[in-house]
Structure 1
Amino acid sequence: MKKLENKNAVITGGSDGIGLGIAHCFAENGANIILIGRETEKLEIAKKELSKYQTEIFILSADLSDIEQLNSLSNSILELCPNIDVLVNNAGIGKFVSFSEMEIPLLDLHLNLNVKSPYMLTKHLLPSLIEAKGNVINISSYFAHRMLPNRNTTAYSLTKGAINSFTKSLAFEIGHLGVRVNAIAPGSISTPQLSRNLESLTDDKQEAFHEMVKTIYPLGSIGKADDIGKASVFLASEDANWITGTILAVDGGLTTN
C-alpha cells in the first residue's frame, strides 16, 4: 500500500518549484491533491503533469498574500474536499534587500505571505485536520538561523524564524487533539526561481556560486525539489506518527557548519 493512499493534501505554492516537487511525491504515494497558486495557467500545467498518477488533482487560484482572501479560499478548499489530512504551507517570498533599504510594503508582503497566511490557513482548516487526525507541514529555511555572505535576508529570516516558532508552539498546543505539526528547512534547491536568479548574474558570479556550493555543502551539491518531497511524504505518513514539533533540516549538511 502506498504511504499516503487516499489521503487528501492541500499544498500552497504548488504550481512549481518545491511545492510541485512535494505534489509529485504525494500523488505518487497515493494522495489526492489540492494545489493552490496565483497563476491559473501554471496550475493547469502542474495539474496535467500530476494526472499521470491517477489520483484526484484540484487547483485553486488565490493570492495568499491577501489575508482577506483566506476565509473564502478555505471555504473553497472544503467544498472540494471536506476531509483534509495534510496541509503543506509552502508558498512564500524571499526578496534579499538590505536592512537599510527595506520598505514597509515589502516587509508587509513577507509577513503576510510567509507568516500570516500559513497561520490563518491552518486556523481555518484546523477543524478538518482534527477530524482526520491529520498533520501540518510548514516549509521553513536554513535562513532562520544560518546566514551567508552577501545575502541580505533580515525580512526573510525573521519570517522563517517565526515559522519555526509557530511550528513548535502549535505542535505543543494541539498535540492532544491528534494533529501533528512539523517543518522542513531546505537548503538551496534547484528550482525555476533559483535558475532565474542565477541567470541574472554575471558569469563570474555564477561560477562563484557553484564554487561556494562545493565549499559549504558537505555533500557538494544543492538539492532537488523531490528531496523535499520525499521528506514531506515521510512527515505526512504514519511512519512519522510520533514526530511533532520538529524542524527537519534537508540541506545537504549545510547547517553542520
Structure 2
Amino acid sequence: FDEEIKMVTNIVRQLNLGRNAGSVTVLVNSQMQNNIDLVDDNSVQITTPMYAIAYNTTSSQCASCRTAWFDNSQTKISDRPLLMELINKTLMEFDAPSESLAGIPSKNFIWFDFGSLRPAPTDRKSKRRYEDFKWRLRYEHRDVNVFIATLNKEDFKDLLSRDENWIQMGMGSDSADMESVDLMNKITQTPQVFQYGDCRRQKSSNEIYEGYLTPGYKQYWVMYPRHFIKSYSIDLRFKAEKTRLRVCVDRFPIPENNEKHCNEAQEDGGEVKFTITDPCRGKSFESCPGIHVSIGLSPQAIKAVSAGSVCKGAAIATLFARSGARVVIADVNPNSMRDVAFECARVSPGALKPLQVVVDLRRDVDMERLIQTTITEFGKLDILVNNVGLCYSSHIDDDDYIEKQRATFELNVQPMIQLTQLSVDHLSRTKGSIINISSISGVKPAMVIMFTKCMAVELGGKGIRVNSVCPGYTRTEGANNATGLTGEALNGYYNEVAKRQYPIGRVGEPMDQANAVAYLASSNANFMTGTILNVDGGYLANK
C-alpha cells in the first residue's frame, strides 16, 4: 500500500489541477458509506457508487494527504463482477454532465490492485454479468484511458486495451518514482473528446468548439463512433486566429506518427480541413475506430538529452530551453530532473515545459522508451546530446581495475552507442545532429572520440552530423563534492588548479560546455562533422 500511496501522491502533485485545468478523484474498492466529510463546493454531501477518499478535487494536497491517511483496513470488494459494475456506474456519473458539451476533458482511470480480487468467474451467470460490464468499460467508456497497476499482469490481461497500460507494482519505492513519471507522460497523451450530441437525430449545422492552445504544446482530441456511427461524411475544420496550425488526423492514436496524415495552414489564420467519408462503413460499433486529432503550432527544434541533471547536462538543457527549443530530459533521479525541468520552463520564451523521462541507461528497454516517448510526444527528433558521465580513478595494477573499466564502459559508452543507433532513422528525416560529451583525458574519451569520428563518416550520407565536445576540469556539483571542500577553501582549490594548469586563468563552468554544444547543434556549424572540440581553457596547449 505504501508504493501505491507514493505513486498516487507523485501523480497528483505533478498534475496541473485547477478549476479550468483538471481535477482528481481517489476511490477505493469498497462500496460507498456515509462519509460526512465528502461534500461539494456548495457543502452538499456527495454519494458515489464506490467509496471516495477525494472527489473531483482541484487540490493536489487534498488528494495526496487523504490517500496517505486512509485506513486501508476497510472492507474490500473481492467479487469481480460487483467491482466492475461499481466502476461503470462511477464513470457514468462523470459522463452525465458532459453529454451536451462540444468538447470535454480527457479522462484517465488508474486501477491499483494488490491481489484482493478473486479470479474471473467461471459459472455461467456470473461470467455473463462480468463480460457485460467489461464490454461497457471498453466500449461505452471508450473515452476513459484505463491503466492497471498490479503485481501480476496475467490477472488483468483481459481488461487491458494495450499492453503499455499495465504498470508493474511491487518493485519498491524507487520504481514508484520512475513509473509515476512514465505514467504522467502517458496521461498527457490521453485525448480530449469532441462530440456532437444530436448526431443520431439530426445533421450538424457547423458545430463549433473554441479552445486555447499553448505555444509549443500539442493537444490530442478524439471523436468516438457513438457520435458519427450513422454519418456518411464528416468535415473537420481547424484554424487559429493569429498563427498557423499544424493538424494531423488518423483513425488511430498519435496521428502525427504518419506525416501523410498531417496538414499545415498556409498562412496565419488559415484553415486546415479534413474530410472523412463513410467513417464506419462495413464496421460495427465495437470495431469502428475513433477519429484521432493532434493540434499544434509550427514545430520547433526538439532536443533529447541523455544526461545527469545536476551537472553539465542541466546547463545544456537550460540553454536550449532559453532558445525556444522543446527539450527532453532523461535521468535516473526524478527529483534532480524536476529541478532542471522547472528551470527550463522558467527561462523558456514560451514557458515550455520539458518532457521528463526517468531512465536507467543500463537497461535497453529504458533507452528504447526514451526515444519512443520523444517521437510519440513531438513527432520528430532534431538533436541528440549523449551526456552521461561516471568517472573511476584506477590503475592497471589495482585489484578492481577490470571491474571499474567494465562499469565505465557500461554507463559511459554503451548508452551512447545504443541511443545513437535508436536515433538514426529519426535524425535522418530531420538532417539532425549528434553531440557526444567526452573529456580531455582517460580511457573513456578515447572510445568516445573514435566512435564520434566513425559515426561522422558512416552517417554523413544520411545528412546527420556527429561531433564531440571534450571539456576540461569543470566546476560541477560532482566535482565540488569530490574535493570534500566548501566555501573559500573550495574557491582556493579551484584557483590553485587554474593557476597551475589553465592558461586562461580559471577552470570551466557548465555553461562553457553548453555554449559549445549549442554551437555544434546550430546551423552555424553545418559544415562541421567528426570534429572534436576541446573546451579546456588551454589545458592541452599547456602540456
The answer to whether the 8 A contact 1:14-1:23 is kept is no
Contact 2:471–2:535 under 8 Å retained in 1: yes
The answer as to whether partners of 1:114 and 1:160 remain within 8 angstroms in 2 is no
**Larger of the two Rg values belongs to structure:** 2
Write out aligned runs for 1:113-152 (5 A): 113-143=411-441
Structure ranking higher on relative contact order (CA contacts 8 Å, 6+ apart):
1
Query: Gaps (5+ residues) in structure 1?
Result: 144-156
Residue number in structure 2 paired with 1:185: 470
> TM-score normalized by structure 1?
0.86
Q: Secondary structure at the match of 1:223?
A: coil
Q: How does 1:87-126 map to 2 (within 5 A)?
A: 87-101=384-398, 102-126=400-424
The separation in 2 between residues aligned to 1:224 and 1:158, in whole angstroms, is 23
Q: Which residue of 2 aligns with 1:17?
A: 311
Local SS of the residue matching 2:397: helix
Aligned to 1:76: 373
Q: In structure 2, the residue corresponding to 1:30 is in which secondary structure?
A: coil
Counterpart for residue 171 of structure 1:
456
Alignment of 1:38-77 (within 5 A): 38-52=332-346, 53=348, 54-67=351-364, 69-77=366-374
Which 4+ residue blocks in structure 1 deviate beyond 4 angstroms?
A: 203-209
Higher strand share: 2
- Quick one: percent identity of the two aligned structures? 29
What runs of 5+ residues in structure 2 fail to find an aligned partner? Answer: 1-298
Which of these residues, 229, 232, 247, is aligned with residue 514 of structure 2? 229
RMSD: 2.1
Task: Specify the SS of the correspondent of 1:44.
Answer: helix
**If the length of structure 2 is used for normalisation, what is the TM-score?**
0.42
Match of 1:37 among 331, 344, 357: 331
Distance in 1 between residues matched to 2:491 and 2:538, nearest whole Å? 22
- Paired residue secondary structure (1:163): helix
SS at the partner of 1:98? Answer: coil
Whether the 8 Å contact between 1:8 and 1:83 is mirrored in structure 2 is: yes
Question: 121-130 or 192-201, which moves further after superposition?
Answer: 192-201
> In structure 2, what is the Cα distance between the partners aligned to 1:43 and 1:211?
32
- CA deviations on 1:223-254 (whole Å, 9 max, x unpaired) are 11111111111110101001000000111111
Amino acid at match of 2:426: S
CA distance in structure 2 between the partners assigned to 1:76 and 1:27 by the alignment: 19
Amino acid at match of 1:26: F
- How many angstroms does 1:212 deviate by? 2.9
Q: Is the 8 A contact 1:140 1:164 kept in 2?
A: yes
Q: CA separation in 1, counterparts of 2:431 and 2:364? A: 26
Question: How far apart, CA to CA, are the structure 1 residues paired with 2:414 and 2:484?
Answer: 31
**Residue identity opposite 2:508 in structure 1:** G
- 2:302 aligned with 1:8, yes or no? yes
- C-alpha spacing 1:113/1:197, structure 2 compared with 1 (3 Å): same
Q: Which residue of 2 aligns with 1:216?
A: 501
Q: Which residue of 1 aligns with 2:540?
A: 255
Deviation per residue, 1:17-61 (Å, 9 max, x gap): 100011111111111100011101111111111111123411111
After superposition, the Cα gap between the structure-2 partners of 1:85 and 1:56, relative to the gap in structure 1 and judged at 3 Å, is farther
